[in-house]
Amino acid sequence: MLQEPEVSVKRLFHIQKNVNQHWVGDGFPVRTLFSYSVLESATSPFLLFDYAGPMEFSPTEQRRGVGEHPHRGFETVTIVYSGEVEHRDSSGGGGKIGPGDVQWMTAASGLVHEEFHGRDFARHGGMLEMVQLWVNLPAKDKMSPPHYQSILDSQIPAVSLPNGQGSVRVIAGEFDGTAGPAHTFTPINVWDLRLTGEQLIDLAIPDGYNTLLAVLKGSVRVNGYETIGTAEVGLFERVGNHIRIESAPDTTALLLCGEPIDEPISGSGPFVMNTAEEIRQAKIDFQNGKMGKISH
């Protein structure tokens, strides 16, 4: 008879925050809550986390956003909480997403893309709140063909937590036997948590995975006394197979965990590869038009 594995709680070792906001184009007021350039292997396979908003935009007929720019070597994951985002890229991918929807773009060997507020949203104005996550690719997949996944809110399963403690939307990976719709290159869990209670919430996390808890609204108390507040990210040690949340009233958070990609990282702006030579080649390829053009 198989025994249940002993529960070992992951220790929270760091809380990362950034109060400084910068603009990406003229449509996305962003705080970068973590970046591989600072935290390195502690967040792998996740490279960067940008939190845009919440900000109220007035109505306009202009296109707000960021125009054509390249990427190579990783994936971008855009999750909209309020507002609307339109995307187009040189591989033919594109679409419009609204609240609850996700765009999962695999840049891989390279593409050019653009991101703007949805036309209807811009015309009427309103609150914009979204996150964009960069996910690294292992060396063997960095030069694979680009790919685009449009994942609608209706396609994302939600699992209720016990005792009315809230729910977990499973975007990628698996939670409590429920699988998310996103295809990933390495084992990753992306869970959108809506937490409502004061009772203990116990989440099973694979031992050896890097685990990050990004709080977007409210606060979360873990380990009995440490609090992760709004626009803060808690980093947990790899050792352990659970995290315990003691209190999370009216909280929205993203739990990110994944098998680390323990390979060298060399990055420059929109390119993340393994060596400086590969970065140099990416710049040359982009300048020579090898990452394509967006059809207008």
Q: Annotated binding residue at 115?
A: yes
Task: Concatenate the DSSP letters of all residues of 166-214 into one string.
Answer: EEEEEEESEETTEE-S---SS-EEEEEEEE--SS-EEEE--TT-EEEEE
| DSSP structure class, residue 65 | E
Tell me which residue has tokens 């007021």.
29
Residue 189 to residues 5, 43, 117, 125, 183, Cα–Cα distance (Å): 20, 13, 27, 33, 11
Cα(102)–Cα(81) distance, rounded to whole angstroms?
Answer: 10
Q: What is the DSSP string of 67-92?
A: EEEEEBSEEEEEEEEES-EEEEETTS
Q: Is the CB of residue 122 less than 8 Å from the CB of residue 60?
A: yes
The Cα–Cα gap between 154 and 99 comes to: 11
Cβ neighbour number for residue 184 with a 10 Å cutoff = 20
14 is known to lie in a ligand binding site: no
71 appears as a binding residue in the annotation = yes
113 is in an annotated binding site: yes
Binding site members: 69, 71, 113, 115
Binding site members for Fe cation: 69, 71, 113, 115
